[in-house]
Structure 1
Amino acid sequence: MFAPTLPDTSMPRIFNMFIIRLLWQIPTGLFLVVVLFLSINEYAAARPSRRIKDIPYVATNASGTDAERHLLDVYTPRKATSAGKMPVVMFIHGGSWNSGSKNLYTFIGRRLAKQGVVAVIINYRLSPAVLVPAMADDCAEAVRWTTQHIAEYGGDPDRIFVMGHSAGAGLAALLATDSRLFAKLGITKNPVKGAILDDPAGLDMFDYLTRMEYPNDEQYLISYGKDPAVWRSVSPMYFVSDATPHMLLYTGGRTYPSITSSSQRFIERLKEHNVKYDYKVLPGKKHVAMVTQLFWQHNLIYQELLTFVGADK
């Protein structure tokens, strides 16, 4: 016997549930594809390189040593190049002088090592624990460690270049221009052979903090303090000289106006002292994209960097 036919009120509900599940599956599927792609890409990049993690670059028993922040990682190619000792690039992360970690930039270490460069990626102390002058001292200590030990990892201590993004690029510029940082360590000649500045912040914090043109600029006083003499003492703009080494400088076409204007003034200062430089504005790039683009091995910055440091690819 057939049951009487009744209106099937369950069908629209079942259909709606199906659509909802389908819509959920689409972004999940795309996410998984992206994750899989990036994982494969990262594995391919990691295979030719070796990472030596968490090396202290100051004596662990020294006064003021920070067990987490006074560390660096070294990335080396697994296969030796034909040219002997390899050029060295020390990368300094950004993060508004109060955040960031070397562990976020393994992709830069991997990409450089894959292309015949020994990469050193560092941590340094951050505010509010310390002010920017102490951060600059940390970076100089990391360079000193590199000069003393990088040959053990296949790097050439006579070809050390510094690189950074944002606040890290400002610190890299300071290392390249202010030899007093090394004189305090007993190093009579600045060991930095060149600098790669990626959307640099902090090139002239004396001017920036004097003007206070933008909302929330007071936040940077936590990192720089309130003494204008200190602001000037860690602004690379005032230390450019005839001895300043060759620089590569990149800014994004859609980065912060303060970075654009200070970079242009920095270039003028380099010109005044006949310092060799190359400067490019990358169209359409915002500040964060200026560093995330370094995930891609064939990025323009890598292409020019390899020639700049003399890498044997």
Structure 2
Amino acid sequence: MTSRLFALLLAVTPAFAADSKPTLAANLAYGTAHERQVLDVHAPAGAKNLPVVFWIHGGGWQTGDKTSVQLKPAAFTARGFVFVSTNYRLLPAFDMGTINRDLAKSLRWVHENIARHGGDPTRVLVMGHSAGAQLAALLCTDDRYLKAEGVPFSILKGCVPVDGDTFDVPAIVATGETRRRLHGQPEPKFGHRAKFGTDDQHRDYSAVTHVAPNKGIPPFLVLYVADNPDTTAQAQRLTAVLKAAGISAKAFGARETHHTAINANLGADGDPSTKELFAFVTAALKP
């Protein structure tokens, strides 16, 4: 990050004790139905009224954990953010709708409680990697989930999906099945088609389905691996749909990286995706 960009970021976030060790409040329950309805809050020491990053882990909707955050908590708290990482119930024991409702419930907890941890409940940036990218994008375009929890859609100030391949589920299902058919490859036993349910559900769980003008959809930065044709196509598809609806959106393809590394390196000095991320954050938080 350049000194000018860092100065801009400080101009839109309150002061905090940058040289003190961040605090961690772990395994805070946002629900009572299942042990995975918990989240972690990382906050700078002395945090007060800071913007909030709401992180959704990946893992194919079947695995993963809120503790898999790599450099991100340190990078964000050092720049004046409260960083929240959430768990959610998983496939195949629970369906995709349950996962989305868990995330909305988790964000409701953030809206109602994050001020106690130094966060601003009205300034939330939603991020996620892989499966978490799909979930983040849907949460920020399909306002029904937050409305059901009584959470104002207006608290969402930005969305950063990272290397997702399911912003348009019917497209990726058709792409994968065509590729496997042409190459004589078997279909996976529990691939995208089965995970997302019926054809109607495929459309309903696609962020592109819900993009429309005047809904209050926040700006998007869609990060992806430039060498991956599927995540590239999906990132460009989502960005194009957002722009057509008059919503600020940018797709950034990272080169010389891969699906795991683009996530693991977020927050690292000199990382191109990190530079794009904090430039986006600065713009999204301008008064």
Sort the TM-score into its range (normalised by shorter chain).
Answer: 0.7 to 0.9
Distance 1:213 1:98, change over 3 A: farther
Q: Contact conserved, 2:262 with 2:273, CA < 8 A, in 1?
A: no
Residue identity matched to 1:66: H
Structure 1 unaligned spans of 5+: 1-44
Q: In the alignment, which residue of structure 1 is the partner of 2:246?
A: 274
1:256-310 per-residue CA deviation (whole Å, 9 max, x = no partner) reads: x221111111111012111111221111221111111125255344444334344
Q: CA RMSD in A?
A: 2.3
Which residue type is aligned with residue 236 of structure 1? A
CA distance in 1, matches of 2:243, 2:78: 34
Cα pair 2:46 2:118 within 8 Å, conserved: no
Residue by residue over 1:72-107, the C-alpha shift from the partner in whole angstroms, topping out at 9 and shown as x without a partner, is 000001244xxx511100010111111111112153
Q: How many residues align?
A: 257
Structure 2 residue aligned with 1:49: 22
Q: Quick check: 1:174–1:236 contact (8 Å CA) kept in 2?
A: yes
Partner SS for 2:221: strand
> For residues 237 and 290 of structure 1, what CA distance do their matches in structure 2 show?
23
- What's 1:115 paired with? 79
Counterpart contact for 2:225–2:231, Cα < 8 Å: no
Tell me the alpha carbon deviations over residues 168-207 of structure 1, each in whole angstroms, 9 at most, x when there is no partner.
0111000110001112223454532210111123101122
In structure 2, what is the Cα distance between the partners aligned to 1:129 and 1:241? 32
- Equivalences for residues 224-243 of structure 1 within 5 A: 224-225=196-197, 227-242=198-213, 243=215
Partner of 1:95: 59
2-structure distance, mates of 1:74, 1:188: 21
Give the equivalent residue in structure 1 for 2:3.
none
Q: Equivalent residue for 2:14?
A: none
Matched, 1:179 2:143: yes
Contact 1:209-1:217 within 8 A present in 2 as well: no
Post-superposition shift, 1:70? 0.7
Q: Which has the higher helix share?
A: 1
Tell me the CA shift for residue 250 of structure 1.
1.2
Cα distance in 2 for partners of 1:150, 1:121 equals 12
How far is 1:222 from its partner? 4.3
Instruction: Provide the secondary structure at the position in 2 that maps to 1:206.
Output: helix
Other structure's SS at 1:103 match: coil
Q: Does 1:104 align with 2:68?
A: yes
Partner-residue secondary structure (3-state), 1:294: coil
Q: With structure 2 as the length reference, what TM-score do the two structures score?
A: 0.82
Give the counterpart of 2:222 among 243, 249, 253.
249
Deviation track 1:113-159 (CA, whole Å, cap 9, x = no partner) reads 12211000011111111122211111111111111011111111110
What SS does the aligned partner of 2:252 have? strand
Q: Is the 8 A contact 1:249 1:280 kept in 2?
A: yes
**What's the offset of the Cα at 1:208?**
2.2
Aligned to 1:71: 38
CA contact (8 A) 2:71 2:264 kept: no
Alpha carbons of structure 1 residues 113 and 254: separation in structure 2 relative to 1, 3 Å: same
Q: Give the alignment's TM-score, normalised by structure 1.
A: 0.75
Q: Distance in 1 between matches of 2:21 and 2:264?
A: 21
Q: Select the residue among 296, 299, 306 that pairs with 2:271.
A: 299
Amino acid corresponding to residue 306 of structure 1 in structure 2? F
1:1-313 aligned at under 5 Å gives the runs: 48-58=21-31, 60=32, 65-67=33-35, 69-80=36-47, 84-105=48-69, 107-187=71-151, 189-211=153-175, 212-215=177-180, 216-220=187-191, 221-225=193-197, 227-242=198-213, 243=215, 244-255=217-228, 257-294=229-266, 296-297=268-269, 299-310=271-282
Identity percentage of aligned residues: 31
8 Å Cα contact 2:236-2:251 kept in structure 1: no
Structure with larger Rg: 1
